[in-house]
Chain A
């Protein structure tokens, strides 16, 4: 179709206005290349070349078509003891992006952490990861660096490799070297290699990074096992996460309670059915934007101080 430059300009101006009204930023519409086109079927996002769908329509919508495949994504756990939740969420995302492992030559996932991090939060356990997230043991690599700065070095080198399916960099607190420049380098390398890099952080104060997406993950009570088609009361079933989409250029912050379906390898948004079974104790209030409750956890980086603080608070 031949359109004059003036007509094109008008269309873009109108699109930009619509985008402003809808709350989506105009950048994505400025250059409608092949990658930026969102595929929909029956109103559901089907994913694009550079994005992977999570299985939850509202989350995919907020992410602009799914999880980016070539970007730095930041995932925060508020405390060290929430490490398992944040870890589970990262692995679920990694599993989604890695997709079905090819039988011939599986591309490995590299997990970079420091020795003290692994000692405190526990070493990733292959059996649990494989059975829950479908990441094959032969496509797992772990790197245990002596210091956070070394872990950052390894992750940066790894981010540029096309042979790695994904890189997870796990660091506690706010290391000095992990600043805007370092994250920008990670993001650029991930974008060039076309591979995702996950920055998994525990008990860290939220600071500005180059990651286009930031999730804050807190635990949520697990779903129930299903027995004869009905949920079995008192059982511990599929893991669930309370996920705050804390930073997102395409949509305002939002909160999702996601349940991981290990059989379908996809997320499901928690339904009302669950609420009937047991009380969901998670407060549904939106996350404080000024970050006051964040600061309380972020001040104490290591678990010990933190636990003393919270323990004292609970006893009183």
Chain B
């Protein structure tokens, strides 16, 4: 079609009137690349993004699972092709050489030690250099990687900077290049390739059990249990579903892991998109905790009960999210809304009973509204207690009240906020409320407003 990169739109339209113009969407491209990286997880857990259009896969020790490097490469390219991508891939001993060869030659496998021979005829751009450096090198007649390799190192470094030789050394394997994988590499993982894709949640659960069983053996050898588990479901059409599970105590019991993922999958229900089925299922333990087997007593089953409670909390967490079951922790603050913090049970700080007792406050309501609700109040005297009020479209007549208890804002943290005068008031039916007046009368500005903050027993 004779169209080139960087061409103006008018020129392109003049050459090809039927052309379709779509704005570049770099974010969508990146999402796409990440989805592909997820998919590449099936070959190796070490997948790193390379700019906006490439992926690095560290396949050390993985290729034999696919019948050798040649078979791995052809299978990967075939699958990319089936998904509609034109991918170029090369396998080499160093990331730099693989990068250069993949982009210049397309499909190739560079055997170890032959890096220099493959790189020598390539243009300088193959070394992942800045365009200015490339231009400067070309200006002095160094047009290929081989030419740069041939010249003495010291003058080159002096004139063109360290980056040039660093890239060259990395490509030749003289300096190690660290790839930063996208996902944390799991401590342990077990996976199963399925000859026939599974399209049923129950079958997925059936695969999880043996996977957890093989994890268990490895965990027993380490004397550890899993704290974070990931279940990766690789779809036939390239999508990857990642389900993570946090546990409140280290676990290696396959039954329990199976149960928790059962809850997780049950909670997903219809929203789990299985497409044409999963052909690879991997269970990996991302973080471990020590788990020493305990000798069971003859009579006491207290530990068992404790384990049941932990399992219950994990199951609820797997089904509805980890924050669903939470624990109140007193906070050293005199503001009622700040005096309690809710933590998920596993993350709650461990306070001693003495610390808790010290932080407790007396004469506080039984239930506190999440947000104080404005009420219309009538008071006999401006600074006095309320006589009647209107809350949620109903009138209440107050027969008794106690107060005020003045609570000032935390001025050492924030400068805004007003003093609040809290009253405990009982209405004619015997309900007790915690009302407050925000601000004071007599100051310039708007009249103080009243709020209902909580209710007493």
Q: What is A's interface to B at a CB cutoff of 8 Å? A: 81-85, 87-89, 91, 103, 108, 110, 118-119, 121-132, 136-138, 140-146, 150, 153-154, 157-158, 161-164, 218-222, 234-236, 239-242, 260, 281-282, 303-304, 307-308, 310-311, 314-315
Asked if B325 and A141 make an inter-chain contact with CB atoms under 8 angstroms apart, the answer reads: yes
B19 in the interface, Cβ–Cβ < 8 Å? Answer: no
Q: What is B's interface to A at a CB cutoff of 8 Å? A: 305-306, 308-309, 312, 315-316, 319-320, 324-330, 336, 339-340, 342, 345, 351, 353, 356, 360-370, 392-395, 399-402, 424, 426, 428-432, 454-457
Asked if B430 and A84 make an inter-chain contact with CB atoms under 8 angstroms apart, the answer reads: no
Asked if B457 and A142 make an inter-chain contact with CB atoms under 8 angstroms apart, the answer reads: no
Asked if A239 and B432 make an inter-chain contact with CB atoms under 8 angstroms apart, the answer reads: yes
Sample of 18 further A-B pairs with CB below 8 A, known A127-B340, A127-B360, A236-B402: A81-B392, A87-B457, A88-B456, A110-B325, A125-B367, A131-B363, A140-B328, A141-B327, A145-B320, A163-B308, A221-B426, A222-B432, A235-B400, A235-B402, A236-B400, A241-B457, A260-B457, A282-B430
| A152, chain B: closest CB distance, angstroms | 13
Question: CA–CA, A249 to B353, complex, Å?
Answer: 41
Asked if A82 and B431 make an inter-chain contact with CB atoms under 8 angstroms apart, the answer reads: yes
| A143, chain B: closest CB distance, angstroms | 5
Residues of chain B with a CB closer than 8 A to A103's CB:
353
Closest A residue by C-beta to B453? A122
| B5, chain A: closest CB distance, angstroms | 50
Closest A residue by C-beta to B367? A122
Q: What are 26 A-B contacts defined by CB distance under 8 Å?
A: A81-B455, A82-B431, A84-B457, A85-B430, A85-B457, A88-B366, A91-B366, A91-B457, A125-B340, A126-B328, A126-B330, A127-B364, A128-B368, A128-B456, A129-B366, A131-B360, A131-B363, A137-B328, A154-B316, A157-B315, A219-B431, A220-B430, A235-B402, A242-B430, A304-B392, A307-B394
Choose from A125, A142, A234 the contact partner of B325 (Cβ within 8 Å): A142
Choose from B305, B430, B431 the contact partner of A162 (Cβ within 8 Å): B305
Question: CA–CA, A308 to B309, complex, Å?
Answer: 44
Asked if A144 and B305 make an inter-chain contact with CB atoms under 8 angstroms apart, the answer reads: no
Residues of chain A with a CB closer than 8 A to B345's CB:
141
| A190, chain B: closest CB distance, angstroms | 15
Asked if A162 and B364 make an inter-chain contact with CB atoms under 8 angstroms apart, the answer reads: no
Question: CA–CA, A219 to B399, complex, Å?
Answer: 14
List 8 A-B pairs, minimum CB-CB distance, nearest first.
A88-B457, A122-B367, A84-B455, A219-B430, A307-B394, A127-B364, A163-B309, A239-B457
| A19, chain B: closest CB distance, angstroms | 36
Choose from A83, A126, A140 the contact partner of B455 (Cβ within 8 Å): A83
Asked if B455 and A145 make an inter-chain contact with CB atoms under 8 angstroms apart, the answer reads: no
Question: CA–CA, A123 to B365, complex, Å?
Answer: 10
Asked if A158 and B312 make an inter-chain contact with CB atoms under 8 angstroms apart, the answer reads: yes
| B129, chain A: closest CB distance, angstroms | 54
Residues of chain B with a CB closer than 8 A to A122's CB:
365, 367-370, 454-455
Question: CA–CA, A161 to B424, complex, Å?
Answer: 38
Residues of chain B with a CB closer than 8 A to A140's CB:
327-328
Asked if A84 and B431 make an inter-chain contact with CB atoms under 8 angstroms apart, the answer reads: yes
Asked if A142 and B328 make an inter-chain contact with CB atoms under 8 angstroms apart, the answer reads: yes
Question: CA–CA, A310 to B454, complex, Å?
Answer: 21
Choose from A132, A145, A242 the contact partner of B457 (Cβ within 8 Å): A132
Residues of chain B with a CB closer than 8 A to A91's CB:
366, 457
Residues of chain A with a CB closer than 8 A to B328's CB:
126, 137, 140, 142
Choose from A84, A110, A162, A234 the contact partner of B432 (Cβ within 8 Å): A84
Question: CA–CA, A184 to B175, complex, Å?
Answer: 71
Residues of chain B with a CB closer than 8 A to A260's CB:
457
| B452, chain A: closest CB distance, angstroms | 9
Question: CA–CA, A157 to B328, complex, Å?
Answer: 21
| A4, chain B: closest CB distance, angstroms | 39
Asked if B454 and A125 make an inter-chain contact with CB atoms under 8 angstroms apart, the answer reads: yes
Asked if A157 and B312 make an inter-chain contact with CB atoms under 8 angstroms apart, the answer reads: yes
Residues of chain B with a CB closer than 8 A to A242's CB:
430
Asked if B370 and A119 make an inter-chain contact with CB atoms under 8 angstroms apart, the answer reads: yes
Residues of chain B with a CB closer than 8 A to A282's CB:
430
Residues of chain B with a CB closer than 8 A to A123's CB:
367-370
Given known contacts A123-B367, A235-B402, is B315 in contact with A81 (CB within 8 Å)?
no
Interface-central residue, A119, A221, A303, by most chain B CB under 10 Å: A221
Residues of chain A with a CB closer than 8 A to B364's CB:
125, 127-128, 131
| A144, chain B: closest CB distance, angstroms | 6
Choose from A126, A154, A236 the contact partner of B424 (Cβ within 8 Å): A236
Choose from B330, B401, B430 the contact partner of A137 (Cβ within 8 Å): B330
Residues of chain B with a CB closer than 8 A to A236's CB:
400-402, 424, 426, 432
Residues of chain A with a CB closer than 8 A to B428's CB:
281
Interface-central residue, B330, B363, B364, B430, by most chain A CB under 10 Å: B430
Given known contacts A125-B340, A140-B327, A221-B426, is B308 in contact with A162 (CB within 8 Å)?
yes
Choose from A126, A220, A240, A281 the contact partner of B340 (Cβ within 8 Å): A126
Residues of chain B with a CB closer than 8 A to A145's CB:
320, 324
Asked if A141 and B305 make an inter-chain contact with CB atoms under 8 angstroms apart, the answer reads: no
Residues of chain A with a CB closer than 8 A to B369's CB:
122-123
Residues of chain A with a CB closer than 8 A to B424's CB:
236
Residues of chain B with a CB closer than 8 A to A150's CB:
319-320
| B405, chain A: closest CB distance, angstroms | 13
Residues of chain B with a CB closer than 8 A to A136's CB:
353, 356
Question: CA–CA, A84 to B455, complex, Å?
Answer: 6
Asked if B455 and A310 make an inter-chain contact with CB atoms under 8 angstroms apart, the answer reads: no
Asked if B430 and A124 make an inter-chain contact with CB atoms under 8 angstroms apart, the answer reads: no
Asked if B365 and A161 make an inter-chain contact with CB atoms under 8 angstroms apart, the answer reads: no
Asked if B309 and A311 make an inter-chain contact with CB atoms under 8 angstroms apart, the answer reads: no
Residues of chain B with a CB closer than 8 A to A144's CB:
324, 326
Residues of chain A with a CB closer than 8 A to B399's CB:
221
Question: CA–CA, A6 to B329, complex, Å?
Answer: 62
Residues of chain B with a CB closer than 8 A to A281's CB:
428-430
| B330, chain A: closest CB distance, angstroms | 6
| B300, chain A: closest CB distance, angstroms | 12
Question: CA–CA, A9 to B278, complex, Å?
Answer: 69
Asked if A87 and B361 make an inter-chain contact with CB atoms under 8 angstroms apart, the answer reads: no
Choose from A89, A137, A240, A311 the contact partner of B394 (Cβ within 8 Å): A311
